Chains A and B, each alone.
Chain A
Amino acid sequence: MLSLKLAFRNLIGARLRTWLNVFVLSMAFVVIIWFKGVLNGWNEQARHDTIVWQIGGGQYWQGNYDPYDPFTIDDSHAPLPDLVQKAVEQGQMTPMLISQASMYPQGRIQSISLRGVDPNQKIIELPTIYLNTEGDDIPAIIGERTAKNSKLSVGDYVTVRWRDVNGTFDADEVKIVHVFKTDVPTMDLGIVWIPLEKHRAMVNMPNEATILTTSPESGFIGDIPGWEFKDYNFLLSEIREMIKTKSLGGYLMFIILMSLAMLAIFDTQVLSIFRRQKEIGTHIALGMTQRQVVALFTVEGAMHSILAAILAAIYGVPLLALQAKIGWSLPAGTDDFGLTIAEKIYPKYSLGLVLGTTLLVLITTTIVSYLPARRISKMEPTDAIRGKIQ
Chain B
Amino acid sequence: MQNGQLITIQKLVKDYPVGRGHFRALEDINLTIGKGEFTGLVGPSGSGKTTLLNIVGSLDAPTQGDANVLGQSISSLNARQSAHLRNHHLGFIFQTYNLLPVYNVFENVELPLLLLKMAKNERRKLVDQALEWVGLQDKRQSRPAQLSGGECQRVSIARAMVKSPKIVLADEPTANLDAENSHNILQTMEKLNKDLKTTFIFATHDDKVIQYLHRKITLLDGKVAKDEQIVKQ
A332 CB within 8 Å of chain B: no
Establish whether residues B114 and A285, one from each chain, have CB atoms under 8 Å apart when the complex forms: no
Establish whether residues A287 and B88, one from each chain, have CB atoms under 8 Å apart when the complex forms: yes
Q: Which of A192-200, A257-265, A274-282, A349-357 contacts B (4 or more CB under 8 A)?
A: A274-282
Establish whether residues A284 and B83, one from each chain, have CB atoms under 8 Å apart when the complex forms: yes
Closest to A377 in B: B79
A6 CA to B102 CA, complexed, in Å: 11
A291 CA to B57 CA, complexed, in Å: 19
Establish whether residues B103 and A385, one from each chain, have CB atoms under 8 Å apart when the complex forms: no
Residues of chain A at interface, number, CB under 8 A: 27
Could you tell me the dominant secondary structure of chain B's interface residues? helix
Establish whether residues B79 and A387, one from each chain, have CB atoms under 8 Å apart when the complex forms: no
CB distance from A10 to the nearest CB of B (A): 6
CB distance from A8 to the nearest CB of B (A): 11
B54 CB within 8 Å of chain A: yes
Question: Given the complex, which residues of B lie within 8 Å of A10, measured CB to CB?
Answer: 100, 102
A83 CB within 8 Å of chain B: no
CB distance from B63 to the nearest CB of A (A): 14
A13 CB within 8 Å of chain B: yes
Closest to A17 in B: B102
Establish whether residues A290 and B79, one from each chain, have CB atoms under 8 Å apart when the complex forms: yes
B86 CB within 8 Å of chain A: yes
Question: Given the complex, which residues of B lie within 8 Å of A278, measured CB to CB?
Answer: 96, 98
A286 CB within 8 Å of chain B: yes
Question: Which B residues, 187 to 223, have Cβ-Cβ distances below 8 Å to chain A?
Answer: none
Interface residues of B (CB under 8 A from A): 50, 54, 57, 59-60, 79-80, 82-84, 86-88, 92, 94, 96, 98, 100-103, 107, 111-112, 114-117, 159
Interface residues of A (CB under 8 A from B): 2, 5-6, 9-10, 12-15, 278-279, 281-282, 284-292, 381-382, 385-387
Of the A-B pairs whose beta carbons lie under 8 Å apart in the complex, a sample of 10, sorted by A's number, is A5-B114, A6-B114, A13-B100, A286-B86, A287-B83, A288-B115, A289-B82, A289-B83, A291-B79, A385-B59
- The 7 A-B residue pairs with the shortest CB-CB distance, nearest first, are A287-B87, A13-B102, A282-B98, A289-B83, A285-B92, A287-B86, A381-B59
